[in-house]
Structure 1
Amino acid sequence: MTNDTVATTDPRLSRVRRLARWLDRSIPIGGGRRIGIDPLLGLLPGGGDALGAMLSCYILFEAALLGLPVRTLGRMLGNIAIESIVGIVPLFGDLFDFAWQANVRNVRLIETAYRPDRPTRSGAGVICLIAAVCALLLALIVAATWWLVSALWSLLPI
């Protein structure tokens, strides 16, 4: 079985492809463009971007279990962090999220780096590492949101 055949039949890859499509490209909006639920989640004040980041971290988790190189996992985390941090900016962040599509980018990275002959990682260690990284990312999103709201609040003439 070739790498291409395994890549198309592996249920883990199918699962992350479906999730990425759902998050970034599931809803046609006309003109050949599509939007997913991730930018729409970003419209929810306070927690939408954090929820989107957590869903994106699942794709990162699956990539880690597949045994992808740490460098690739770092690039994937960077895509999630960029989308999540920029996503907290009202309206601009949602437009950026629509254009950036971190989940689709991350699936492309998985498809490029995945080798079926590479040993997979154990679930327990990966779960702990990804949970810690996601908690740190969530804390960063909350802190940046707090800072942005405080900055905008200080501009109001009260």
Structure 2
Amino acid sequence: MPEIPADAARARVTRARMEKLAWLLDGAVPVPGTKFRFGLDSIIGLIPGIGDAIGLLLGAAILYESVRVGVPRGTIAKMVGNSVADTLGGLVPVVGDLFDFAFKSNKRNAALLMSHLDTVDARPATVPARRGSRLLAILLVVVFFGAAIGVLWWATSRIIGYLSP
């Protein structure tokens, strides 16, 4: 039996982890009698204020992994756009929750990552990540945490504003 190269094995593990995460966040729960599915991101998004921030942070794992394996910057920009659109759309009361159920940014981002893994023939780790790529990944995570804290602060100030006389 031929031995699987370490790079191919890492790519396979990355693929499996990210597909499972996207499924959990965007498609784990079927709606009976339809082909529609939703996931943890949609459920968490129902929590006013912090739900969308938490969903953004969970989705950041796909972005981080994409930067780590060397997805091109243009594709990373699309992925960030998907995540931001999902988060901003989810902030609108009621309509935003419906948008959150339909948009599925994590599945879109995972599909972009899988497409990249396919184009490099499942060998993303053959070229070590450049220092700039690691810094970009860390920056993405910091920006996502900052955005989540900003959304939480905004939601908290709104709630306090409604409660004060």
Q: Which whole-Å CA distance do the structure 2 matches of 1:43 and 1:91 have between them?
A: 9
Q: Which whole-Å CA distance do the structure 1 matches of 2:65 and 2:20 have between them?
A: 13
Check the 8 A contact 1:83/1:102 in 2, yes or no.
Answer: yes
* Number of residue pairs the alignment of both structures matches: 148
Query: Match of 2:105?
Result: 102
Matches within 5 A, 1:7-156: 10-30=12-32, 31-114=34-117, 115=120, 116-118=122-124, 119-121=127-129, 126=133, 128-140=135-147, 143=150, 146=154, 150=158
Q: Which whole-Å CA distance do the structure 2 matches of 1:96 and 1:120 have between them?
A: 38
* 1:68 Cα deviation after fit: 1.0
Q: Which whole-Å CA distance do the structure 2 matches of 1:46 and 1:144 have between them?
A: 7
Name the structure, 1 or 2, with higher relative contact order (CA <8 Å, separation 6+). 2
* 1:132 Cα deviation after fit: 2.7
* 1:130 Cα deviation after fit: 3.1
Structure 2, unaligned stretches of length 5 or more?
1-7
Q: Which whole-Å CA distance do the structure 1 matches of 2:133 and 2:47 have between them?
A: 30
Check the 8 A contact 1:85/1:141 in 2, yes or no.
Answer: no
Q: Which whole-Å CA distance do the structure 2 matches of 1:47 and 1:127 have between them?
A: 28
Q: Which whole-Å CA distance do the structure 1 matches of 2:142 and 2:92 have between them?
A: 20
Q: Which whole-Å CA distance do the structure 1 matches of 2:104 and 2:51 have between them?
A: 15
SS at match of 1:112: helix
Q: Which whole-Å CA distance do the structure 2 matches of 1:44 and 1:134 have between them?
A: 22
Cα displacement string for residues 96-141 of structure 1 (whole angstroms, at most 9, x for unaligned residues): 111110011011111212213452426x765543343343344445
Could you tell me the TM-score, scaled by structure 2's length?
Answer: 0.75
Identity among equivalent positions (%) equals 31
Cα displacement string for residues 66-85 of structure 1 (whole angstroms, at most 9, x for unaligned residues): 11111111111110111011
Structure 1, unaligned stretches of length 5 or more?
1-5
SS at match of 2:37: strand
